[in-house]
Structure 1
Amino acid sequence: MATWLDEHRGVVFGALSVIAVAGAGLFYWRQPAQTPIEIIPAETAAPTATATTPPANTPTPAPVRIYISGAVAQADVYFLPAGSIIKDAVDAAGGFTADADPDRINLALELQDQQHIHVPHIGEENPPPPVEGRSAAPVSAPVRGGASGGGPVNLNTATPEELDSLPGIGPAIAQRIIEYRESVGGFSSIEQIQQVSGIGPATFAKIADFITVE
């Protein structure tokens, strides 16, 4: 027996080596696959949003409505930004005419809604007050008068200055009224003034309460 082992020692050790390697391989193959460990970094907490209150909307002041008459290029009703002064109203009306007397009014006075601004002519006698209308409380519409300053304007006897003081009537239209009056021999009704160029229904509505025919 010993002689056989001695003779076949190499074969026996080789066979045992093969069996050992095969057994180790079988053992490794039967082991469950290990899941790799994944290291996940800690999440950084997101900053908490701070609620902000949107700025309050500041209302835009309403424009002021003014009527400017007298010695300006275009007497009319104008809408001007709040805080405007009489000088702004004069500029909106095209500036002073050549015969304006601006020293008789305060150009720096701040305008109020629904005011009437009258720019007097040089040498104009008894003109309407330079500023009429609202201050702190509403003021009723003034009655326009002739040279005496009282009563409605008589279309058949009115001077250019008296006609110019009417809402929406400037120097040019006042002159047309007189020329029309002379051409037809006088007005028979206040509605007839609408026959004058430049005076339509809108302008007539402004002046109807301030004119008369006698």
Structure 2
Amino acid sequence: MKKLEKKEIIIIIVFIISIVFLNVNEFRYKTNQKISIEEEVKEVDSRDQEGDKENKDKQEEKEKNEPKKIKVDICGAVKNPGVIILKEGDRVIDAINKAGGLTDRADILKINRSKYVYDSEKIIIPEIGQEIDVEGIDDSDTIGIDKKININTASKEELESLDGIGESISERILKYRQKNNGFKSIEEIMNISGIGQSKFEQIKDSIKVK
């Protein structure tokens, strides 16, 4: 076998090194490409997750801000009497419209159409000449006439008409609402000295803040 010359050996070594170098570079390129693709996939997944979380947060915020649904029973001189679904903050006029509107026999002089409605309330729309026995009905807020005392506007005498509220407590209520720009909820009245949970339970169905 012919002995390789020094020059030939060098050429072979250079060739082998070139092959190895090319293979290493190709491996590095493929590895970097794979890493780049994986990073892009992770970035897309991360954006998708952030988008899903943002959409979820928006949906939760929307649901949180949406008015609570309530049910009221409206009967009497409306076209479609029955239990209807409204939203907190709706008024008697909204209940009437939801029930198809008033009939020709409705006595509008006995209806306060601007009154707020409350969950589980019974609204009776009387016909002309009809007398309603309010005492025989459980809910005192009937016929659209609001009998609750607004603790943000009530006089001292009106406050004292509430069960268990005397002169001293009524004066505290007046001072509190003046100092705090009114009550934000009926539960806030428990901040008044002398009105605890038990007394609040006595008057909560007889008061309102708007």
Give TM-score, length-normalised by structure 2: 0.40
Q: Which protein, 1 or 2, shows the higher relative CO under an 8 Å CA cutoff with sep ≥ 6?
A: 1
Question: Larger radius of gyration, structure 1 or 2?
Answer: 1
- The answer to which structure has the higher helix fraction is 2
